[in-house]
Amino acid sequence: MNTSRKDLVFKALRFEEVERVPWVPFTGVHCAKLIGVDAETYLRSPQNIVEGVKVAAERYFADGVCSVFDLQIEAEALGCALKWSKNNPPAVATHILDYKDITELPELTPDLGRIRDALYATKTLKEDIGEHTAIFALICGPFTLALHLAGAKFLTDMIEEPARADEVLKFCADVARKMSRWYVEAGADVVALVDPMTSQISPRHFKKYVMNTVEPAISEVKKLGGLVTLFCCGDATKNIELMMQCKPDGIAFDEQVSISVSKEIAKKYNVAVEGNLHLTTTLLFGNPYECVEDAKHCIDEGGYTGYILSPGCDLPFDTPEYNLEAIGRYVVLGETPSLNTGFMSLDEALANCDASSEGFDDVEIKPGEIFVEIVTLDSEGCAPCQYMMESLHRVKDNYGDKLTYRETLIKSLAGIKRVGQIGVKNLPSMLINNELVFDNIVPTDEDLIKELNKRISLSVKIK
């Protein structure tokens, strides 16, 4: 007997064998493009969210969908101001704990801010398409929420004021627990705790600051009969086994983590893995043939037990619809696009791209000056990228006009070409005077100043 589409998702998350690998595209604000509105208009309207997700589910043959992919909802409700974008989720613009004590924050309720809209969208999607499609609800993980509320200073507090950091994390853990309960009560089948900042910390800090704080939400979801996953971004390889020890039903990660390595660990814990189609090099700039080849590779590594095919993170706004349609048709119908699809391949697109003309040329380092290049997915839509940029902004005024900087986004062909030239493998990363210094780790103020000072001194000596 054939398993229903949403049951494929459930079986995968229960580490059971399936006859076909389930497909869950994290469509995010790409849904806005599908219904002809910008990201802000989309995320401010629960009706738009429902319409966009339903279009994506049908068009891309999705076995599961995310109701809302916006990790700033909780922070906004608690008082952080947002910077809105037309083609990205909003970014946190102010950190409420910079000017208020944690005891002064409003009580979190289901009606606070856009939480009400997110719960409405989840409930409506469950009613409209939930019979056949698994509904995922995404919440901001406690560690990332702590960064949203307290800013990059939270990383320094972990070392210099651990009691204050603990207090903030306990508060955020309770926020995650409440959000999880409300989403399950609204009809979500799966709650995904999305904690992208956990790739930025050591296993020692993961054990100390993350394992205990995700436990209340995981327990709450399981107590209510739901399924729960942990979701990270960046190269979280060092923390993958620890994530599984938190006892979720599944973990999701991007292309910087190996599916095959994770699957070997997963067998020990019976925890499913989810991912990790290449977000930009394949889905955004590849063609249908390349996208399906990427999907085949992922499925070969993931196998038919405990694996869900998904993008590595939420889709960029402008991801071509034909690429996602091709993956859906391959996974569900077994259709393979021809090699000659009529669309330009990534290699052809890169060959026609002049990175220098778009401002991504080499920068000559002059004695006594510093050039900082931060390589990101997009600091407006990626929390680790945002906080690496913020770490620089916190200290750059100490150096006046001696310091210049540039953000190199890989959401452009020129950015991808530049990253290939400088050999950066992980995001986000920070180069100082063309040397990779912080590889997939957001520095504290002290560490960044130390490295900047060292290189100013070196450049003067060269003179």
pLDDT (tens digit per residue) in 254-267: 888 999 999 999 99
Looking at the predicted structure, is the pLDDT value of residue 312 above 70? yes
Instruction: Using pLDDT thresholds of 50, 70 and 90, give the confidence band for residue 462.
Output: very low
* Whole-number Cα distances in Å, 155 to 254, 275, 392: 23, 28, 14
Looking at the predicted structure, is the pLDDT value of residue 341 above 80? no
Which amino acid type is present at position 50?
Answer: V
Looking at the predicted structure, is the pLDDT value of residue 424 above 90? no
Instruction: Using pLDDT thresholds of 50, 70 and 90, give the confidence band for residue 456.
Output: confident
Give, as one character, the DSSP assignment of residue 106: P
Note the helical H segments in 61-161: 73-77, 115-129, 142-150, 153-160
* Range name among 107-116, 240-249, 373-382 with the lowest pLDDT average: 373-382
What is the model's pLDDT at position 42? 98
Instruction: Using pLDDT thresholds of 50, 70 and 90, give the confidence band for residue 236.
Output: confident
Q: What is the pLDDT of residues 9-27, one digit of tens each?
A: 999 999 999 999 999 999 9
Instruction: Using pLDDT thresholds of 50, 70 and 90, give the confidence band for residue 463.
Output: very low
CA dihedral 249, 252, 256, 257 (to 10 degrees): 10
Instruction: Using pLDDT thresholds of 50, 70 and 90, give the confidence band for residue 348.
Output: confident
Mean pLDDT (whole number) for 274-300: 93
- Would you say how long the chain is, in residues? 463
Q: What is the pLDDT of residues 319-337, one digit of tens each?
A: 999 999 999 999 999 999 8
Using alpha carbons, select from 267, 345, 283 the residue that is nearest to residue 275. 283
CA atoms of 444 and 147, how far apart (whole Å): 13
Residue 166 zone, left/alpha/beta (φ > 0; ψ -120 to 50; rest): alpha
What is the model's pLDDT at position 233? 82
Paired with 437 in beta bridges are none
What is the model's pLDDT at position 125? 98
- Mean pLDDT, the chain, whole residue set: 91
34-43, 161-170, 341-350: which is most confident: 34-43
Burial of 163 (0-12, 13-18, 19+ CB in 10 A): exposed
Q: What is the pLDDT of residues 191-205, one digit of tens each?
A: 999 988 778 888 988
Residues 321, 262, 229, 43, CA torsion sign: negative
**Residue 84 CB coordination number (10 Å):** 17
CA atoms of 301 and 67, how far apart (whole Å): 28
Give, as one character, the DSSP assignment of residue 368: T
Q: What percent of the chain clears pLDDT 90, i.e. is strictly above it?
A: 68
What is the model's pLDDT at position 71? 93
Mean pLDDT (whole number) for 154-162: 86
What is the model's pLDDT at position 256? 87
